[in-house]
A and B are shown apart, each in its own frame.
Chain A
Amino acid sequence: MSAGIDLENVCCDFGSFRAVDTANVSIQPGEFFSFLGPSGCGKTTILRMISGFIDPTEGQIRIGGKDMKGQRPNQRPTALIFQNLALFPLMPIWENITFGLEVRGVDKVTRRAKAEELLRLVDLPGAGDKMVSQLSGGQKQRVAIARALAVEPAVMLLDEPLSALDLKLRQHMRAELRAIQKRTGVTFIYITHDQGEALAMSDRVGVMSQGRIQQIADPRDIYNNPVNGFVASFVGENNIFEGKAAAPSEGLAGFETAHGTFRARLAPDAVGKAVKLYVRPEHTVLTAKAGKENSVPVTITEVSFEGAFITVHGIGDSGKTITAEIRNDGSATVPDVGAKLHASFDAARASLLPDANVRA
């Protein structure tokens, strides 16, 4: 069972401070949806409104088409996984997992069996009689997921569940979470400030800044076609040029900067706004001769080897620093520090974007 969730013009005020501003999003049943944004942008607040711990100041939240106004957390078909997990330290694992069934009056034998079944699902068979303090971080994580799944929620809400784990475990748990979501078919709403996590796991991502949802799209679109400078910068690296855009033709517009005149994509709704040019390092190429267009002469200042790719930093004549990424597959020669080259980019790979959509 899974349910869709609709937020319609949802706002949340704390006193005079607006933590969430006019959020509109429609999450499909069975979808893995992430809210991505820096700390303090209102992600937890959105999640707590969906689970019923806070009432929206304005707007409507629907789960499975039903208005949730006035419904207590224990009346909603949601299960929240807290940022700090909030397992019950005084109960053994199996009681933790089946607490939601205990309060529904399920008998002990059935609960014990259900606990074992869920422990197998999260790959922790036989851990039922241990205490919470005996488990490692990753194991606690799994118990929290099992505890939430036990009540068979239509929607799982996860608040930065992997942030306390170390890198290796985090990557493993990403795949695990995604697999559990696929297996159970439950709608997952996932919160994170880690763009890698959001892009790797989600069907769709909602990027947030200062209480506003900036863009909702699938991970590729978020990365390849960000709608504004905030999204572009939050999900990856960029070379950014300031300047003035001319009128676009066929989606491309001229862009006058202190480093020369470039051409880049300009979305129709960005026409007339103040924009900057964003181009990703992996779309920035370094060549011995100047390119036809969008080319800047640079002197290489640093070459750092990252493994799968090599990051090259250069500085232009006008003092502008430029970063390029070369794949470590032998297809391109790695320049030396001090080399004088030309950095250029394809106009179709560069975007002219306004700044973030924030309150004035």
Chain B
Amino acid sequence: MQDLLRRYGPGLTGLISLLVAFWLVMLVIVPNITLFEQSFRPYLPVTEVGGPRDIYSFNNYLKVFDGDVTKTFFGHEYRIPVHVLTFSLTIWYSILVTITCFAIAYPLAFYLAKVVSPKSLPTLFLLLFVPLWVSEVLRAFAWWIILALKGPLNALLLFIGAIDKPVRWIVDYDAVMVGLVYTYVLFMLFPIYNAISSLDTNQIEAADDLGAPWWKIHLRIVMPHAKPGIASGSVMVFMLSAGSLLVPSILGSTTSQWFTQTIDQWFKDALDWNTASAYAFLLLILCTVFVSFAMWVFKVKLSDIAK
């Protein structure tokens, strides 16, 4: 702040501060607080808003426990509220997406950071970035086309003889997983790439010289060093996946339901903004709790991720 004052004088500094404050308060805090406040009030006809029935309660939040469905899990039958099930599946598949992204991004990041000659790096990065220039909607639809029953993937597999009749790919959560991994893998790649780049190559050679096999070098030297990058990549991919609406909507099957789709339905189909807000905050809070828990398990500090 002192620095800004010295550099730009009081006039410009005041203007910058005002604009930042406006952006923060009017465009971020106020809408969110409004929704947060609404989430505790019941959904009422306009005439009754502010009336005697308009009181604060947790009822909107408790709606996730309404409406049980029966499911079997390893032959064991149990009843579970449908929205809790959707939420659990969203978290579960987001974890799978995060793990898959890591499995793809880590070797690639290591390859880019330590194996590739610096001369070919710009080309490789360009190749990685090009898909990002295409809109997310188009990319999701592209996958929908690729994975379609009569789409190019099945055609190719049939042609080379890997399968003998078309496979239904867009089933359950499979296509959603593919779409989410494809959309968010770069968010995993870059933090890990950055972290591995900062590792002194001599440390890898020292471990090699001391007799360590390649997997031990990764486990003991490269991964611990890249941990902050892995953590921030994982948090990003997980949060983005759990909060994604577009990909599950486009690539979802008849049997898949993402929690964001449920929220969307409260907003758009039921026009019940109060419950929709409650669900949205529930997702945010529970994901934050989950991420904090995961960070505690893996002994990652918040300051590591901020790096």
Report the Cα distance A151→B206, complex, angstroms.
Answer: 12
Chain B hits for A230, CB < 8 A: none
Name, among B200, B206, B220, B221, the residue most crowded by chain A CB atoms within 10 Å (CB to CB): B206
User: Looking across the interface, which residue of chain B has its beta carbon closest to that of A53?
Assistant: B205
- A74-B203 CB under 8 A given contacts A90-B224, A99-B220: no
Q: Mark B195-237, 1 if CB is under 8 A from A, else 0.
A: 0000010110111111111001000110011000000000000
Min Cβ gap A63→B in Å is 14
Report the Cα distance A74→B210, complex, angstroms.
Answer: 6
Q: Is the interface of B mostly helix, strand, loop or mixed?
A: helix
Chain A hits for B213, CB < 8 A: 74, 103
User: Looking across the interface, which residue of chain A has its beta carbon closest to that of B201?
Assistant: A86
Judged by a CB distance under 8 angstroms, whether A204 is at the interface is no
Min Cβ gap A188→B in Å is 16
Report the Cα distance A52→B224, complex, angstroms.
Answer: 26
Report the Cα distance A309→B248, complex, angstroms.
Answer: 84
Would you list which residues of chain A between 11 and 28 have a CB under 8 Å from chain B?
none
Report the Cα distance A151→B207, complex, angstroms.
Answer: 12
Judged by a CB distance under 8 angstroms, whether A73 is at the interface is yes
Q: Please choose the segment from A34-42, A77-85, A284-292 that sits at the chain B interface, where 4 or more of its residues have CB less than 8 A away.
A: A77-85
Does B205 lie within 8 Å of A82, measured CB to CB? yes
Instruction: Please tell me which one of the listed residues A74, A84, A102 contacts residue B202 in the complex, with CB atoms under 8 A apart.
Output: A84
Judged by a CB distance under 8 angstroms, whether A314 is at the interface is no
Chain B hits for A147, CB < 8 A: 210
Chain A hits for B202, CB < 8 A: 82, 84, 86
The interface size bin for chain B is: 10 to 19
Report the Cα distance A74→B202, complex, angstroms.
Answer: 14
- A80-B209 CB under 8 A given contacts A86-B202, A88-B203, A103-B216: yes
Report the Cα distance A149→B66, complex, angstroms.
Answer: 67
User: Looking across the interface, which residue of chain B has its beta carbon closest to that of A90?
Assistant: B224
Judged by a CB distance under 8 angstroms, whether A168 is at the interface is no
User: Looking across the interface, which residue of chain B has its beta carbon closest to that of A99?
Assistant: B210
Does A74 lie within 8 Å of B225, measured CB to CB? no
Would you list which residues of chain A between 80 and 128 have a CB under 8 Å from chain B?
80, 82, 84, 86-88, 90-91, 99-100, 102-104
Report the Cα distance A90→B219, complex, angstroms.
Answer: 12
User: Looking across the interface, which residue of chain B has its beta carbon closest to that of A79?
Assistant: B209
Does B206 lie within 8 Å of A90, measured CB to CB? no
Q: Mark B138-176, 1 if CB is under 8 A from A, else 0.
A: 000000000000000000000000000000000000000
Return 11 A-B CB contacts under 8 Å, by A number: A52-B209, A53-B209, A79-B209, A80-B206, A84-B202, A86-B203, A86-B205, A90-B225, A99-B210, A100-B211, A103-B212
Binding site for B on A (CB under 8 A): 51-53, 72-74, 78-80, 82, 84, 86-88, 90-91, 99-100, 102-104, 147, 151
19 additional A-B residue pairs with CB within 8 Å, beyond A82-B205, A88-B207 = A52-B209, A72-B208, A73-B209, A74-B208, A74-B209, A74-B211, A79-B209, A79-B210, A82-B202, A86-B205, A88-B203, A99-B207, A99-B220, A103-B210, A103-B211, A103-B213, A147-B210, A151-B210, A151-B211
